[in-house]
Amino acid sequence: MPVYNLCIKIIKKNIPTLLIYIIVFLGVSILVSSTAANQQKAGNEFISNKSNIAFISEEDSPLIEGLKDELSKVANFIDIPDQKDALQDALFFRRVVYILRVPEGFTQKFMTGEEIYLEKTMLPDSASNAYIDLSVDKYLNTAKIYMEHMDNITQEGLVAYLSANLSEEAAVTVLPAQTNTDLYNIAYSYNYMAYSLSSVLILGMSAIMLAFNNRDLKNRMACSPISETKSNLQFILASLSFAGVTWLIQIIACFILDMNSVMTPNTVFFIINSLVFTVCATSMGFLFGSIVKGSGAISAVTNVVVLGSCFISGVFVPTELLGKTTLKIASFIPTYWFVSANNQIAQLSQFDLFHIKPVISNIAIILCFALAFFSLSLVIRKNKRYS
Amino acid sequence: MVIKVKNLVKRYGDLIALDHLSFSIKEGEIFGLLGPNGSGKTTAINCILSLLKYDKGEIEVFGELMTPEAYHIKRDIGIVMQNVAVYNELTVYENIEYFCGLYVKDRNLKKKLVEEAMEFADLNEFRNFRPKKLSGGLLRRLNIACGIAHKPKLIILDEPTVAVDPQSRNKILEGIKELNAKGATIIYTSHYMEEVEQICSRIMIIDKGKAIATGTKEELKAMISLGEKITVESYDISEEQFARLRQLPNIVSAEYNDPLIEIKSIKGKNNLENVLEFIKRENIQFGKIYSELPTLNDVFLEITGKELRD
Amino acid sequence: MFAHIFLNRLKCLLRDKETIFWTFAFPLALALFFYLALSNIGKGDAFQGIDIAVVNDSRYQEDQYFRTALEEASKGDDRLFNLTLATGDEAKRLLDDNSIKGYIIDGTPMELVVKESGIHQSIIKSFLDNYSQTFGAVETVLKSNPQKYQEVIESLKDRKNYIKEVSGAGGKPDIVVNFFYTLIAMACMYGSFFGMRETTDIQADISPLAARINIAPVHKLKAFLSSMCAALLIHFIEMLSLLAFVRYVLNIDFGPRAGLVLLTTIIGSIAGVFFGAFVSAVVKKSEGIKIAVLIGVSMLGSFLAGMMSTDIKYTISRNAPIISWINPVNLLTDAFYSLYYLDNLYRYALNIGVLSGFTVLFSALIYLIVRRRKYASL
Ligand SMILES: Nc1ncnc2c1ncn2[C@@H]1O[C@H](COP(=O)(O)OP(=O)(O)OP(=O)(O)O)[C@@H](O)[C@H]1O
Ligand SMILES: [Mg+2]
């Protein structure tokens, strides 16, 4: 099978470049699964990780002591000298995510009901901030109730009441999850596949196409005793084996990194989804190879298109964080459907028709994209041949 | 003396690329440097240009010691390197203009020189082409134009005609002769002995970094004991007849590669008549018959025992 | 001669589409992608309430205060919850389907059923705690002052906010800007592709073209400087355009010190170009290895400086500070961030100082290498 062998040879030549993407994929997957392993330890206990904060008080009073006690349930206090530079630096390098400052005279004003605020400086993104806010708010507002309605209450009395109240907590039951929480992490690995799969397949496919578009080679092929159908068949076979091997490597990596969830039925869907996406990426590579000339241009276009599509469809940044407009744009890209299918699969715990239907329809959409890319490239190639 | 090289030794690690090479080139010469691949031609030129460090020896150009800072010497040298050295992003015209501009400051003069170089290499048609779009031969011609545009007094051409088609090659060779006629001294390296024979006034043959013979082509040919070479095309010569042919006087050797008989004669004796007579006498059918004088290849073969071109 | 080489060099570099793409179009596109992907982070509109359910049993029906509180929290545009009433089984099924984050069973104490820990679940719990604790406080108050019932209930509605955010300096700490700063830093380092070309085209032992230039009657260092100037000029312009795009089109804040931001970009650009020139001069022949080194350093540098995730940057700076100090991308990123965020310029000066130190070191080494004009081998 000369054409087949030629294709494989071309791919082999490009292995170093292609390998980079696979290695990046493996690296990211290992990173994700190792952090996932850490999270799992904390999984049974409800919210056990506390964030680091700096608590700076310009005065000392039982009320403030009480607040500090209450906060110690949700935060670790880090000692930082009360200097602007030091504090800014601490935030800058994330030694703390939140700085709470109690201004001079806070207790006094609070007790007399005057307007007074605690001052916070924080990193905006960290979700734990909201939690600390809630904690402070709860403490002071409960204190306010006592203060306003218990006549002649002393600070000490107030704190005693508060600590009695604040020990009341809601009981949280963490249900023995039917869906494995690992699945979210493994879904991340599968999502990330969108990046490595499309990069590798598009680069590899277009490398083959580029070689075949070479005029000398084309002429030589035309003169060879192999019929066009046969050579096309061999070409398709070669592309499929290349795509298959690429896919297999990554799937196996996913399996090895997460042995636990391999046996869940979700895995079957992950496999189907990634396989369909592989077909789609291959036909995308076919399309790119038909349009773009020159290997420099190929790697430029591939990088921009693949990075771009991954960014806006939730491969790198979780879908929940993306804006509506961004997602709307993304829905014109197969990667988006691949990612949302993965996310849905991760949540599947029942496998009746009703539950798997959205997954199936997403996969069907990816398949449509694959067909569309393929036919488009056929049209382009046909037009080129006659021109 | 335009160039004087004395006892030049250049080593690459264990490999001795130039082994006590000495030669000098007079003004107005076309000096041919002839040698097989890897004999050290390019190395010698790079040493002369002060691009390469050498282990031993002295090099003078225009009577002065050549150094990398000898800009006044460099200004009068034009070089056409073996490897095409042009900017891929610049057009044919811009490339010539750029290199010429490194030597010539005056704008009008530069413009004129560039046009002349374009004419010389016959590149006018391709003025606005980028090198990537040029064929191998055209690229070579551009390379030459870039090297000689500033009308240097000494022109060094390192295998300038590789991959150039015969017409263009002849044009280039004619051009080189013309440049020489206008006063330029020329060093020309090649392993095409025909070219070297055609244009060079003096030739040095080098092999493995050693000069093995220097002189005009006549002098070189005179150095060997070989005379004319007679080739006969024949289809029916028998073993005995061939054996008898070898017995003829003045014959050094004779070989029979069906259908060609090659007969080499002693220098200075005209042997064609003898051979013709023999053929007539033995009644041997023959097609063509011709006689040639020895080539530089024969010279090389005789001195080193191997062919110049493999 | 300077002008002749400089202008031709400009022409060459500008026509080198591939380098222009990687040094300019690629960072620009990446900036756009960052913008599309990150523009929503930190903006309120991402939060549209947490889906929860409450078990609608008799206890819940009778617990008027809790019901009111919960319904209150599930109303309006800035609601905390999207509430569903359900039977126990239904709630469980909803949780299984991931239609809700958790469900509440009214009782003492309140019970919250969730499937996993997470910030949404914490908020639900915090709400419940808050309710029971406030309720506990009310009970305590009423025990000693039963007559104040009405008053207390009134004051419950009047919750106060006791925390005010004060910003540290010119800018708020913001991870989104950090992504863009890293990106600009990376683009600065991509200037190394220009630098690489410059040494390749002047060192005779790297390319025949350079050998050709070496033979011309031009002082080699002068030729090198002229062409470096061309490379720097082009890269400056690219970086300034990128900066303008990020600042004015994508509206990323750079803090109040515009002059220093420009200076930083220029210093970064110089560092990048010289770095590339240095690598190219040292690695000599193999173009593939050179490009691999350059891309490796700038991509790995960007990764460690937090281009993919800011956590990595902080993990590195805490655990292996030396890496942050030798990573040019990180130095530049921190310089930008200090300008944006810190009041005093000490940290900025430190970052820029170290980066300039590297640049000077590179130039010195380049000088030592390029100064040589005769080669042992070509
Ligand atoms: N950079 C180098 N390192 C080691 N050896 C070298 C180097 N350059 C050339 N050589 C060796 O030096 C010898 C002379 O090479 P040179 O290029 O001078 O030959 P040449 O006569 O120009 O051959 P050609 O006809 O192929 O151009 C060769 O054996 C070559 O292998
Ligand atoms: Mg040579």
Protein residue with its CA nearest to atom 18 in ligand 1 = B40
User: Is residue A341 exposed (0-12), middle (13-18) or buried (19+ Cβ within 10 Å)?
Assistant: buried
Three-class DSSP labels, chain C: CHHHHHHHHHHHHHHCHHHHHHHHHHHHHHHHHHHHHHCCCCCHHHCCCEEEEEECCHHHHHCHHHHHHHHHHCCCCCCCEEEEEECHHHHHHHHHCCCCCEEEECCCCCEEEECCCCHHHHHHHHHHHHHHHHHHHHHHHHHHCHHHHHHHHHHHHCCCCCEEECCCCCCCCCHHHHHHHHHHHHHHHHCHHHHHHHHHCCCCCCCHHHHHHHHCCCCHHHHHHHHHHHHHHHHHHHHHHHHHHHHHHCCCCCCCCHHHHHHHHHHHHHHHHHHHHHHHHHHCCCHHHHHHHHHHHHHHHHHHCCCCCHHHHHHHHHHCHHHHHHCHHHHHHHHHHHHHHCCCCHHHHHHHHHHHHHHHHHHHHHHHHHHCCCECCC
Q: What is the ipTM of this complex?
A: 0.81
CA distance C187 to B123: 40
Among residues A139, A196, A130, which one has the least CA distance to residue A163? Answer: A139
Q: How many CB atoms lie within 10 A of CB C6?
A: 18
Question: With bands split at pLDDT 50, 70 and 90, how would you rate the model's confidence at C182?
Answer: very high
Ligand closest to Cα of B17 equals: 1
Best mutation target among C16, C215, C220 (most B Cβ atoms within 10 Å) is C215
Q: What does the pLDDT profile of chain A (387 residues) look like in tens digits?
A: 778 888 888 888 888 878 888 888 788 777 776 765 555 444 455 554 577 889 988 888 888 888 888 888 878 888 888 887 778 778 777 778 888 888 888 888 888 888 888 888 877 655 567 778 878 888 888 888 888 877 777 888 888 888 887 777 777 777 765 445 567 777 888 888 888 888 899 988 888 888 877 766 666 766 777 777 887 888 888 889 999 999 999 888 888 877 777 777 888 899 999 999 999 999 999 898 888 877 778 888 888 898 889 888 888 877 877 888 888 888 999 999 999 999 888 877 778 888 889 899 999 999 999 999 999 988 888 887 665
> Which of B43, B55, B187 should be mutated for ligand 1, with most atoms under 8 A from CB?
B43
| DSSP designation for B308 | S
Instruction: Identify the closest residue of chain A to C34 by CA–CA distance.
Output: A311
- Is-contact B31 B187, C-beta < 8 A? yes
- State the distance from the centre of ligand 2 to the C-alpha of B190, rounded, in angstroms: 8
Closest ligand 1 atom to C377 CA: 1
Ligand closest to Cα of B19 equals: 1
Question: With bands split at pLDDT 50, 70 and 90, how would you rate the model's confidence at B208?
Answer: confident
Please give the pLDDT value at position B100: 93
Please give the pLDDT value at position B308: 63
Chain C residues whose beta carbon lies within 8 Å of the beta carbon of residue A349: 96-97
What 3-state DSSP class applies to A263?
coil
Q: Is the pLDDT of residue C201 over 70?
A: yes
Q: Between residues C241 and A40, which one has the greater pLDDT?
A: C241
Q: Is B43 in the pocket of ligand 1 (CB under 6 A)?
A: yes
Chain B residues whose beta carbon lies within 8 Å of the beta carbon of residue C217: 71-72, 74-75, 102-103
Q: Is C377 in the pocket of ligand 1 (CB under 6 A)?
A: yes
Please name the member of C15, C207, C219 whose beta carbon is closest to the beta carbon of B89. Answer: C15
Which of B166-175, C254-263, C264-273 shows the lowest mean pLDDT across its residues? B166-175
- CATH of region A51-166: 3.40.1710
C374:B99 CB<8 A: no
- State the span(s) of chain A assigned CATH 3.40.1710: 51-166
% pLDDT > 70, chain C: 95
> What CATH number does domain C50-157 carry, 3.40.190, 2.40.128, 3.40.1350, 3.30.310?
3.40.190
Structure tokens that stand for C237 in this block? 């312009």
Sign of the dihedral through C-alpha B279, B284, B285, B289: negative
Chain A residues whose beta carbon lies within 8 Å of the beta carbon of residue C38: 317, 321
Instruction: Identify the closest residue of chain C to A24 by CA–CA distance.
Output: C300
Instruction: Identify the closest residue of chain A to C313 by CA–CA distance.
Output: A93
- State the distance from the centre of ligand 2 to the C-alpha of B82, rounded, in angstroms: 6
Q: Is the pLDDT of residue C23 over 50?
A: yes
Q: Is the pLDDT of residue C98 over 80?
A: no
Q: Among A8-12, B268-272, B284-288, C314-318, which range has the highest average pLDDT?
A: A8-12
- Is-contact B93 B118, C-beta < 8 A? yes
A180 touches chain C (CB under 8 A): no
Residue that is written with structure tokens 């790995």 in the block:
C300
CA distance C367 to A62: 68
Q: Is the pLDDT of residue B70 over 80?
A: yes
Domains of chain B: 3-221 (3.40.50.300), 225-293 (3.30.70.980)
| DSSP designation for B124 | G
Residue type, C216: A
Please give the pLDDT value at position A40: 47
**If contacts are CB pairs under 8 Å, which of residues 6-45 in chain B contact chain C?**
12
% pLDDT > 90, chain B: 33
Q: Is B38 in the pocket of ligand 1 (CB under 6 A)?
A: yes
Structure tokens that stand for C184 in this block? 């600009």
What 3-state DSSP class applies to A32?
helix
Q: Is C285 in the pocket of ligand 1 (CB under 6 A)?
A: no
Chain C residues whose beta carbon lies within 8 Å of the beta carbon of residue A169: 109, 125, 129, 132
Domain chopping of chain C, boundaries: 2-41+174-372, 50-157
Backbone angles phi, psi at B208, to 5 degrees: 50, 40
Instruction: Identify the closest residue of chain C to B130 by CA–CA distance.
Output: C15
Q: Is B17 in the pocket of ligand 1 (CB under 6 A)?
A: yes
**If contacts are CB pairs under 8 Å, which of residues 16-75 in chain C contact chain B?**
16
Protein residue with its CA nearest to atom 9 in ligand 1 = B43
Distances (CA, A) of B279 to B221, B230, B233, B254, B285: 29, 13, 11, 14, 8
- State the distance from the centre of ligand 2 to the C-alpha of C375, rounded, in angstroms: 17
Question: With bands split at pLDDT 50, 70 and 90, how would you rate the model's confidence at C48?
Answer: low
